[in-house]
Amino acid sequence: MAAERRLCYRFYTIYFCQVFISMQQRPLFKPKRRPSRLIRRTLLVGLGVFALGSVVWQFLPGEGAQDGAATASKPSDGNEIPLTLEAIESPNETAREAGSESVSIDTPTSGKQSTAFARSVSLGSRPNFHIPGQEEALKAIEAPEANRAAVGSAEDLDPVEGETESASPSLEETTITVDSGDTLSTIFEKAGLGYSDVLKVLDLGDEARRLERIRPGDKLVLMTDDAEQFAGLKYDFSSESELSIFRSDGDQLVAEITDLPSETRLVSAGGTIKGSLYQSAIATGVPPMQIMQLAEVFGWKVDFLRDVRDGDQFRLIYEVRERDGERLGTGHIVAAEFVNRGERVQAVRYTSPNGTSGYYEPDGSSLERGFLRYPVEFSRISSNFNPKRLHPIHNTVRPHNGVDLAAPTGTPVKSAASGRVTFVGWKHGYGKVVQVRHDAKHETLYAHLSGFKGNLKRGASIDKGTTIGFVGMTGAATGPHLHYEFKVHGKALDPLKVDLPEANPIASEDRKDFIARTRGSLEELARIEVDVEGEQPVHLASNERVSRESRED
């Protein structure tokens, strides 16, 4: 109340002073009827006395002080104990007479975390009135910094039961299966999200760009917060990897690719061929992928199109990847055996200490060749090797020193063997060409390419199976295909009939390691029983389980 009264006194004082000044500057009523000098001086003196009285009034004891009285607490008899305003406004005064009583008052600081501090107030003549904690409060006044912990603060208070310091926002997950014709925009729209969220996701880098290659049947888990705003997503784009988009501590979207945990177990199977290898292997539960691998492993030893007969036998041990009991896919063939017309051939997979993997016979001889027979996955042979072929465009007899393998434009073309690039560029009717020298006697050529892989340059070293370009129809070509030439000492030979060199056998320094690491697979392979009159069902290979992380290659 005292503060409001003082404010009113000051307001009226300033107001009357402004009125007086305005009277000195302009007429009060009319321009020709200006107040006399006596009236002006009388009014000035009156205003001065009023202002002086208002100032003196604020410092006089009496009603002003009584209005500022405070109440500490109400004892059991119902009488309030008055606290003097002077005591409240002088909290730092610590001198007290012996036997005087005091009370501590907590005053919060506006706009900040409340900090408790004590103010000592005289309680008049009530010697038996006791305020809990008054002695600790007085000590805190005398040494506030040293005893801040004794008095306590809001930061020292324990949180209320059931509350947490920062409640993590709850996220709602929506699982959407990609339908035919769906785009990322339509998928986000199904989850109630906008195109702006799609742009934010695609701006996160190459990891998020995998969402541009979603396929029907894929599943996306979209997450939204309490405000129904985009908060992240999960996308298992393969059986082994997951794309995760989430908000970091700085509330920024982050894209991350993580490897999904899985385990690999070895499965063995065997059977007797009746009709065809494919049908007989399917009957024993062997996946189609492993049947194709089996044909590739023994492709240089057995002609599966001409030489396979009923009664031939096969055995194999292969990898199966699983997660939580669900099959994710299959891996490599670890060991295999094929008996063709009584002749037995075996293969084991081995990874050398330098990381090179391949299939070998038990004596260490390689089952592979140093060259790929076909450097591209083709649909048909559109033109064979022919030194006297009639050219389809020029209508003249010109040698066709290679083989044309028809394939869709953009199909990857691989190097037939490791070597060094000797030419990259345009070569007349061949169009875009890549030439590779593999050793002192072998050289290959790849023509009519639509483009080259990355920044492939002359002099670059490449490995067997490395993509060097893509099928096209540049130069003199009537359709998309790969023109493939194979030269020995500079002379072109038929790539489909040339005797390809074998790959290198196990190195002498790796032979002991090879024998030690393949012995178990060969022993397990020999334990697979095959009924001559029927098929042997699939079973676990000694129930062996190998973690995905420790799996070789």
> HSE-up of 19 (CA within 13 Å, CB side)?
13
Q: What is the pLDDT of residue 13?
A: 66
The C-alpha angle with vertex 271 and arms to 268 and 275, in degrees rounded to 5, equals: 140
| pLDDT for residue 537 | 44
Q: What is the mean pLDDT of the chain?
A: 76
**Mean pLDDT, residues 8-21 taken together:** 63
CB distance 354 to 373 below 8 Å:
no
Q: Give yes or no for a contact between 230 and 202, defined as CB atoms under 8 angstroms apart.
A: no
Residue among 51, 43, 49 at smallest CA distance from 21:
43
Residue 177, classified by CB atoms within 10 Å of its CB into exposed (0-12), middle (13-18) or buried (19+), is exposed
> Mean pLDDT lowest for which of 13-27, 144-158, 321-335?
144-158
pLDDT tens, residue by residue, 109-157: 444 444 333 344 444 444 444 555 555 555 555 554 444 444 444 444 4
pLDDT in tens, 228-238: 889 889 988 87
Residue 524 contacts by C-beta under 8 Å, 6 or more apart in sequence?
Answer: 266, 268, 317, 335, 541, 542
| Two tokens, residue 503 | 């790959």
Q: How far is CA 442 from the centre of its chain?
A: 46
Q: Is the pLDDT confidence value at 202 over 50?
A: yes
Q: What is the pLDDT of residues 376-385, one digit of tens each?
A: 988 889 989 9
For residue 274, give the DSSP letter. Answer: B
pLDDT for position 142: 53
With contact defined as beta carbons under 8 Å apart, do 415 and 468 qualify?
Answer: yes
Beta bridge partners of 329: 321
Higher-scoring residue by pLDDT: 450, 133: 450
Residue 18 is predicted with a pLDDT of 62
Task: Give me 527's structure tokens.
Answer: 């334990």
Question: Closest Cα partner for 529 from 265, 272, 267, 266?
Answer: 272
* pLDDT digit string, tens, across residues 365-409: 999 888 988 899 888 899 899 887 776 666 777 788 999 999 999
List 115's β-bridge partners, or say none. Answer: 153
Low-confidence winner among 95-109, 125-139, 180-194 (lowest mean pLDDT):
95-109
For residue 183, report the phi and psi dihedrals to the nearest 5 degrees. -120, 175
The contacts of residue 259 (CB under 8 Å, 6+ apart) are 240, 241, 242
Position 70 pLDDT exceeds 60:
no
For tokens 């690039």, name the residue: 421
Q: How many residues can be counted in the chain?
A: 553
| pLDDT average, residue stretch 316-322 | 93
Tokens representing 225 are 């917060």
- Please tell me what DSSP assigns to residue 210: G
Task: Give the amino acid at 251.
Answer: D
Q: What is the largest CA-CA distance in the chain?
A: 145
Of 20-24, 207-211, 260-264, 511-515, where does mean pLDDT reach its minimum?
20-24
How far apart (Å, rounded) are the C-alpha atoms in residues 195 and 347? 54
pLDDT tier at 449 (50, 70, 90 boundaries)? very high
Three-state SS at 115: strand
For residue 345, list its beta bridge partners. 338
How many C-beta atoms lie closer than 10 Å to residue 1's C-beta?
A: 11
Phi, psi at residue 234, to the nearest 5°? -135, 140
| Phi, psi for 474 (deg, rounded to 5) | -75, 155
Q: Residues 330, 506: contact at Cβ < 8 Å? A: no
Place of tokens 């001065």: 48
Q: Torsion angle of alpha carbons 5, 8, 9, 11, nearest 10°?
A: 160
Whether residue 544 is predicted with pLDDT greater than 60 in this model: the reply is no
pTM: 0.48
pLDDT for 262 equals 79
Q: What are phi and psi of 17, to 5 degrees?
A: -65, -40
Give the C-alpha separation, 103 to 122, whole Å.
Answer: 8
* In the chain, % of residues over pLDDT 70: 67
Rounded distance, CA 297 to CA 338, Å? 10
Return the SS3 of 306.
Answer: coil
Q: Given a cut of 60, is residue 550 above it in pLDDT?
A: no
Task: Indicate the pLDDT class of residue 515, thresholds 50, 70 and 90.
Answer: very high
Angle between helices 2-25 and 37-59 (to 10 degrees): 170
What are 281-317's pLDDT values in tens digits?
999 999 999 999 999 899 888 888 788 999 999 999 9
Distance CA 299, CA 486 (A): 20
pLDDT of residue 89: 45
Is the model's pLDDT at 445 over the cut of 80?
A: yes
* Residue with more model confidence, 441 or 544: 441
DSSP characters for 32-76? T-PPPHHHHHHHHHHHHHHHHHHHHHHHSSSHHHHHT-EE----T
Q: Answer for the pair 51, 34: CB distance below 8 angstroms, yes or no.
A: no
Burial (CB count <10 Å: 0-12, 13-18, 19+), residue 53: exposed
**Residue 434's pLDDT band (boundaries 50, 70, 90)?**
very high
Select, from the ranges 72-86, 212-226, 486-500, 521-535, the one with the highest average predicted confidence (pLDDT).
486-500
Read out DSSP for 340-365? Answer: ETTEEEEEEEEE-TTS-EEEE-TTS-
| CA distance linking residue 421 with residue 434, whole number of Å | 7
Identity of the residue numbered 411: T
Q: What is the mean pLDDT of residues 144-171?
A: 49
Q: What's the Rg (C-alpha) of the chain? A: 47
CB 536 within 8 A of CB 270: yes
pLDDT, position 447: 97
Query: Phi and psi at residue 10, in whole multiples of 5°?
Result: -65, -35
